Amino acid sequence: MKKPIESVFKKLFSKEPLLVFSPGRINLIGEHTDYNEGFVMPAAIDKKMIVAIAANQSRQGRIYSMDFDEEFAFDLDSFGPKKGHWATYVMGVAAQLQQAGYEVQGFDMVFGGDIPVGAGLSSSAALEAAVGFALSELFDFKIPQRSLIHYSQKAEHVFAGVQCGIMDQFASVMGKKEHVIRLDCRSLEFQHFPLHLPDHCILLIDTCVKHSLADSAYNKRREECQTGVTAAQKLHPEIKSLRDMDLEILAGIRDQISDPVFNRCKYVIEENERVIKASDSLDNSDLSGFGKIMYASHAGLSELYEVSCEELDYLVDYTKNLDFVLGSRMMGGGFGGCTINIVEKSNLEKLQKMISRDFELKFGAKPKFYEVSLENGTGLL
């Protein structure tokens, strides 16, 4: 990606650019725990956004998107969100930096990447982090990493109108090669854990479906979690979120909440425990144990949190009796998207052929496959 982006930049703007990158992310375990102040385990991957940038001595931001083959310009002294347009992410970051007191000057920019859109790998967070880092480097702002993460997240909240958690931006910026991040979404304390895969690889299998339930169900799940917390607070006023609850406290309010609310809370409490156990497995180089925890996570997501779908369940169930797959689960919001799998490298091609054939027979469409490796976070190219 680097050469074509650099070449297009020189052709459009006739000067040498500064080049930066920011990776997409996967989440190994810890799904729907972020907005409950819990634990997640994301990692930066080898698919990324690349930004080429240079100052232009004006008050304009002039941008070209390689992926959309489209130019866009905006006035740095007067601009706002453009709903549904890719430039909103770039403008959102510029706005956050300005509000924080950084004097953003005119710039020319070309960006593109190889993060599959719609596969749940957070291409928007990668773009936001890349733009923030590029502007910081270009104008020597020296923005600290944690501030860059917050500006990127706020750009998504304020300009794109998506109330995302902090995990995506955090993973893009703080990623480390061959490591996952255990992130505490309440305190933002984090720790890197090694994930060495000499004989295995991480394979994402994309169902290529997104069921219409996804957005409404996400909001409903947040409400149900809060209902459980509110009920628990009557007996335990110190509780702030599901992070503060255990299964004993949940059992104590069983009569005050509905079955769905009980199940949602039970899943989140157990998933937080699974993230801690998964960290121990990695510390002990126990990949097999880690894989079993992934399967348990999917069972909870499907049966208790009810955010899976037929296609995702099919893909996870398909791998359960294959001795060359250590673990599998759905990844992301649910109702479509990808499963994440740990697969023996020597059987990777075999698995892809088997699943491609059988998935198409059942659902009438072929899935997509992405093999990914764990890489460093946002930086200079």
34 is in an annotated binding site: yes
Which residue among 168, 206, 323, 358 is the active-site one? 168
156 is in an annotated binding site: yes
Task: Look at residues 140, 73, 80 and name the one whose alpha carbon lies nearest to residue 109.
Answer: 73
H helix or E strand, kind and range, residue 183: strand 179-184
- CA–chain centroid gap for 90, Å, is 18
121 is in an annotated binding site: yes
Strand partners, 336: 210
Torsion angle of C-alpha atoms 274, 280, 281, 282, degrees rounded to 10? 110
123 is in an annotated binding site: yes
Contact present, 10 and 188 (Cβ < 8 Å): no
Task: Look at residues 39, 53, 159 and name the one whose alpha carbon lies nearest to residue 107.
Answer: 53
187 is in an annotated binding site: no
- CB environment 207-241: b (16+ within 10 A), e (fewer): bbebeeebeebbeebeebbbbbbebbeeeeeebeb
206 is in an annotated binding site: no
120 is in an annotated binding site: yes
230 is in an annotated binding site: no
280 is a catalytic site residue:
no
302 is in an annotated binding site: no
32 is in an annotated binding site: yes
> Known binding site for ATP: residues?
65, 118-124
Catalytic residues: 168
Extract the annotated binding site. 31-34, 65, 118-124, 156, 218
Q: Point out the annotated binding site for substrate.
A: 31-34, 218
Known binding residues for Mg(2+):
124, 156
